[in-house]
Chains A and B, each alone.
Chain A
Amino acid sequence: MSLELAANMGAAPKAEIPSDSPLAIRGMTVSYGQKPVVFSVDMTVAEGSMTAIIGPNGAGKSTLLKAALGIVQPLAGQALVYGKSLKAARHRIAYVPQRASVDWDFPTRVIDVVLMGLYRELGLLRRIRPHHIEKARACLERVGMTDFADRQIGQLSGGQQQRVFLARALAQEADLYLLDEPFAGVDAATEKAIIDVLKSLRSEGKTVVAVHHDLTTVRSYFDRVFLINTRKMAEGTVDDAFTSDNLNQTYGGRLATGQIDQLELTAG
Chain B
Amino acid sequence: MSGEEFVPLSLTPMLIGVLAAVACALPGNFLVLRKQALIGDAISHVVLPGIVVAFLITGVVAAAPMMLGAAGAALVSVVMIEAIRRLGNIEPGAAMGLTFTTLFAAGVLLLEQSDTSSVHLDVEHALYGNLESLIWLDAIGWKSLLDPVALAGLPSELGRVVIALLGVCAFLWLFWRPLVLSTFDESFAQAMGIATNRLGVALVMVAALAAVAAFDAVGSIIVIAMFICPPAAARLMTNRLEHQVAWSVVFAVLSAVLGYVFAGYGPLWLGFDNAVSAAGMIATVSGLILALAACFAPHRHRSRAPVV
Give the number of residues in B that approach A within 8 Å (Cβ atoms).
32
A122 to B194, CA, bound (A): 13
Name the residue on B nearest A172 (C-beta): B192
Chain A residues with CB under 8 Å of B174's CB are: 124-125
Stretch of A155-163, A210-218, A224-232, A236-244 lying at the B interface: A155-163
Chain A residues with CB under 8 Å of B181's CB are: 116, 119
Q: Is B148 part of the contact surface with A, judged by Cβ < 8 Å?
A: no
Stretch of B104-112, B239-247, B254-262 lying at the A interface: B239-247
Q: Is A10 part of the contact surface with B, judged by Cβ < 8 Å?
A: no
A122 to B180, CA, bound (A): 14
Contact flags (1/0) for B236-280 with A, using CB distance below 8 Å?
Answer: 001111011000000000000000000000000000000000000
Name the residue on B nearest A152 (C-beta): B239
Name the residue on A nearest B181 (C-beta): A116
Chain A residues with CB under 8 Å of B87's CB are: none
Q: Is B146 part of the contact surface with A, judged by Cβ < 8 Å?
A: no
Q: Is A27 part of the contact surface with B, judged by Cβ < 8 Å?
A: no
Interchain CB contact under 8 A, A161 and B305:
yes
Stretch of B2-10, B152-160, B182-190, B220-228 lying at the A interface: B182-190
Contact flags (1/0) for A80-92 with B, using CB distance below 8 Å?
Answer: 0000000100100
Given contacts A107-B238, A122-B177, A124-B175, are A154 and B187 in contact (CB under 8 A)? no
Contact flags (1/0) for B285-308 with A, using CB distance below 8 Å?
Answer: 000000000000000001111111
Interchain CB contact under 8 A, A71 and B184:
no
A95 to B186, CA, bound (A): 12
Interchain CB contact under 8 A, B187 and A157:
no
Chain B residues with CB under 8 Å of A109's CB are: 239-240
Contact residues, B109-156 vs A (CB, 8 A): none
Give the number of residues in A that approach B within 8 Å (Cβ atoms).
40
Contact flags (1/0) for A167-199 with B, using CB distance below 8 Å?
Answer: 010000000000000000111001000000000
In the assembled complex, the CB of B225 is this many whole angstroms from the nearest CB of chain A, namely 21
In the assembled complex, the CB of B154 is this many whole angstroms from the nearest CB of chain A, namely 33
Interchain CB contact under 8 A, A102 and B185:
yes
Q: Is B45 part of the contact surface with A, judged by Cβ < 8 Å?
A: no
Chain A residues with CB under 8 Å of B240's CB are: 107-109, 112, 152
Q: Is A70 part of the contact surface with B, judged by Cβ < 8 Å?
A: yes
A106 to B188, CA, bound (A): 15
Q: Which of B191, B241, B303, B308 contacts A95 (CB 8 A)?
A: B191
A87 to B193, CA, bound (A): 8
Contact flags (1/0) for A120-159 with B, using CB distance below 8 Å?
Answer: 1011110000000000000000000000000010111111
Name the residue on A nearest B192 (C-beta): A119
Interchain CB contact under 8 A, B241 and A97:
no
Q: Is A2 part of the contact surface with B, judged by Cβ < 8 Å?
A: no
In the assembled complex, the CB of A108 is this many whole angstroms from the nearest CB of chain B, namely 6
A93 to B244, CA, bound (A): 32
Q: Is A69 part of the contact surface with B, judged by Cβ < 8 Å?
A: yes
Q: Is A105 part of the contact surface with B, judged by Cβ < 8 Å?
A: yes
A90 to B190, CA, bound (A): 10
Interchain CB contact under 8 A, B192 and A120:
yes
Contact residues, A37-89 vs B (CB, 8 A): 66, 69-71, 87
Interchain CB contact under 8 A, B305 and A93:
no
Interchain CB contact under 8 A, A108 and B241:
yes
Q: Is A103 part of the contact surface with B, judged by Cβ < 8 Å?
A: yes
Chain B residues with CB under 8 Å of A156's CB are: 305
Interchain CB contact under 8 A, B185 and A97:
yes
Q: Which of A90, A104, A106, A159 contacts B192 (CB 8 A)?
A: A90
Name the residue on B nearest A113 (C-beta): B184
Interchain CB contact under 8 A, B187 and A106:
no
Given contacts A108-B240, A116-B181, A119-B181, are A185 and B308 in contact (CB under 8 A)? yes
Interchain CB contact under 8 A, A107 and B241:
yes
In the assembled complex, the CB of B244 is this many whole angstroms from the nearest CB of chain A, namely 5
Chain A residues with CB under 8 Å of B178's CB are: 119, 124
- Residue from B174, B244, B305, B307 whose CB has the most chain A CB atoms within 10 Å: B305
Q: Is A257 part of the contact surface with B, judged by Cβ < 8 Å?
A: no
In the assembled complex, the CB of B201 is this many whole angstroms from the nearest CB of chain A, namely 17
Name the residue on A nearest B183 (C-beta): A106
Q: Is A262 part of the contact surface with B, judged by Cβ < 8 Å?
A: no
Interchain CB contact under 8 A, A185 and B307:
yes
Given contacts A158-B307, A187-B308, are A69 and B191 in contact (CB under 8 A)? yes
Given contacts A108-B241, A109-B240, A124-B178, are A71 and B190 in contact (CB under 8 A)? yes
A156 to B238, CA, bound (A): 17
Interchain CB contact under 8 A, B308 and A70:
no
A241 to B46, CA, bound (A): 58
Q: 9 other contacts beyond A71-B190, A90-B191, A158-B308, with CB at 8 A cut-off?
A: A90-B192, A97-B188, A103-B33, A106-B183, A116-B184, A119-B192, A124-B176, A157-B308, A187-B308
Which chain B residues have a beta carbon within 8 Å of chain A's beta carbons? 33, 174-178, 180-181, 183-185, 187-188, 190-194, 235, 238-241, 243-244, 302-308
Which chain A residues have a beta carbon within 8 Å of chain B's beta carbons? 66, 69-71, 87, 90, 93, 95, 97, 101-109, 112-113, 116, 119-120, 122-125, 152, 154-159, 161, 168, 185-187, 190
